[in-house]
């Protein structure tokens, strides 16, 4: 039997359900988007003026570091009434201190890039369940949002300046309330509606042109005051290099460390033993962000080649590989010696399988269960 590919592709999209959107829906969506943009641009000037006034009277609670600046001593803030937060000078060091706020727990920094560090906001109870190949259910922490502290100059507040103006200990801040989402019909019963929520988000300027945000999913019903309280409790601990549970002695030419930590790009509470590295080929400018950067990393209209490595408990992956292998297109795997963890390498379409196998064959694992054995991320890819 023979099949012609273009006929196959046509067959693949046959039997489509009736469209949900009409031509007029597209026109209405376009007009709405245009109105929103006009409103945003019109509001930006006045909001900026308010920010400037508020910043002048604010008591700095956390101190931003511009990337090229040398490390400032914590006492550099003019008249700190609270313990200062100095953004670490090093690219791959995190220093968000874990804390609790009511029933919510905020983790240490679990995902660090040269432009920002991320901690996870966790509520009581279990989050999404994952059923493994042996029908065993694994509970995930009840992640409800993220705390993201951006380095000075990285976050662009223009987008959120259309939201409600509030204050965090005298610092300019904006609050955008959450909006409930709805799962597409094809995913009803498989994915909760809450997965499509627009989260509530609070952004505040913790230092001159340095911002942080904290978000919470609509299902968590966390309001403005709770987010303001969380923001007021953010403090720094001593900066520590971010570590991962594996290292490579071979990395393809030009690829450099772009993110690392116990949590991968999904920015969820890390599972026990999980760790992650992102490599990019080319410089990604950490400026003008309105949220943590996500694939694709586009610079000057070109996508930067991206490679990601994640070490996960074996139950989380359907793949097992005693020796490095690539059963899926662009995805290769290697188990730890005891088979309890699996390293997933995603080539993003930029590396051949042979190159990815070469990378995996150069891997040394730490003990995923003992963070004391983990490698500094900066050493893991050198």
Partner 1 sequence: MSDRDTEFRDFVTAQMEPLRGLAYLTCGDWQAAEDAVLTVLAKLYVKWRRVDNHASYARTAVVRAAIDETRRPWWRREHSQSDAMPDHPYPDDSTHAVDERLRIRDALQQLPPRLRAVLTLRFLEGLSVRDTAEALRCPEGTVKSYTSRGLDALRQILGVEVFVNKELRHEARAV
List of residues contacting partner 1 (CB under 8 A): 1-6, 8-17, 19-21, 23, 25-27, 29-34, 37, 128, 130-133, 140, 184-187, 190-191, 195, 266-268, 294-296, 298, 301-303, 316-318, 328-331, 348-350, 352
Give every CB contact of residue 46 below 8 A, 6+ residues apart in sequence: none
How close are the terminal C-alpha atoms of the chain, in Å?
Answer: 50
The closest alpha carbon to 152, from 49, 44, 58, 289, belongs to 289
Compare residues 8 and 49 and give the one whose CB is closer to partner 1. Answer: 8
Least Cβ distance, residue 73 to partner 1 (angstroms): 38
Compare residues 347 and 368 and give the one whose CB is closer to partner 1. Answer: 347
CB 198 within 8 A of CB 220: no
The closest alpha carbon to 209, from 155, 269, 132, belongs to 155
Give every CB contact of residue 266 below 8 A, 6+ residues apart in sequence: none
Compare residues 29 and 164 and give the one whose CB is closer to partner 1. Answer: 29
Least Cβ distance, residue 82 to partner 1 (angstroms): 33
Compare residues 12 and 70 and give the one whose CB is closer to partner 1. Answer: 12
Give every CB contact of residue 205 below 8 A, 6+ residues apart in sequence: 51, 54, 55, 58, 157, 171, 172, 173, 211
The closest alpha carbon to 324, from 355, 361, 366, belongs to 361
Least Cβ distance, residue 252 to partner 1 (angstroms): 13
Least Cβ distance, residue 9 to partner 1 (angstroms): 4
Compare residues 119 and 228 and give the one whose CB is closer to partner 1. Answer: 119
Least Cβ distance, residue 305 to partner 1 (angstroms): 8
């Amino acid at each position: 039997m023979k099949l012609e590919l273009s006929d196959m592709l046509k067959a693949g999209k046959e039997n489509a359900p009736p469209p949900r959107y009409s031509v007029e829906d597209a026109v209405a969506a376009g007009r709405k988007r245009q109105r929103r943009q006009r409103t945003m641009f019109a509001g930006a000037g006045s909001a900026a003026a308010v920010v400037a006034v508020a910043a002048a009277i604010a008591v700095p609670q956390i101190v931003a570091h511009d990337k090229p600046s040398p490390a400032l001593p914590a006492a550099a803030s003019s008249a700190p009434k609270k313990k200062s937060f100095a953004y670490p000078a090093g690219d791959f060091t995190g220093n968000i201190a874990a804390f609790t706020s009511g029933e919510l727990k905020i983790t240490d920094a679990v995902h660090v890039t040269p432009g920002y560090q991320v901690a996870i906001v966790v509520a009581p109870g279990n989050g999404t369940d994952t059923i493994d190949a042996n029908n065993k259910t694994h509970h995930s922490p009840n992640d409800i949002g993220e705390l993201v502290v951006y380095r000075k100059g990285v976050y662009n507040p223009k987008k959120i300046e259309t939201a409600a103006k509030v204050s965090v200990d005298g610092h300019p801040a904006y609050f955008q309330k959450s909006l409930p989402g709805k799962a597409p019909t094809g995913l009803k019963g498989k994915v909760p509606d809450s997965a499509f929520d627009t989260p509530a988000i609070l952004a505040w300027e913790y230092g001159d042109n340095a911002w942080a945000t904290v978000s919470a999913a609509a299902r968590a019903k966390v309001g403005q005051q709770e987010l303001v309280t969380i923001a007021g409790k953010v403090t720094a601990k001593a900066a520590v290099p971010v570590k991962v549970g594996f290292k490579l002695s071979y990395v393809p030419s030009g690829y450099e460390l772009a993110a690392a930590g116990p949590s991968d790009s999904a920015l969820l509470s890390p599972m026990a033993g999980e760790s992650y590295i992102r490599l990019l080929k080319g410089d990604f400018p950490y400026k003008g962000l309105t949220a943590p950067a996500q694939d694709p990393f586009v610079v000057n209209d070109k996508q930067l080649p991206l490679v990601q490595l994640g070490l996960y408990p074996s139950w989380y992956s359907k793949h097992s590989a005693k020796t490095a292998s690539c059963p899926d297109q662009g995805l290769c795997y290697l188990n730890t010696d005891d088979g309890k963890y699996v390293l997933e390498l995603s080539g993003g379409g930029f590396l051949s399988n042979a190159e990815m196998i070469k990378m995996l064959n150069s891997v040394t694992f730490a003990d995923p269960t003992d963070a004391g054995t983990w490698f500094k991320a900066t050493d893991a890819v050198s």
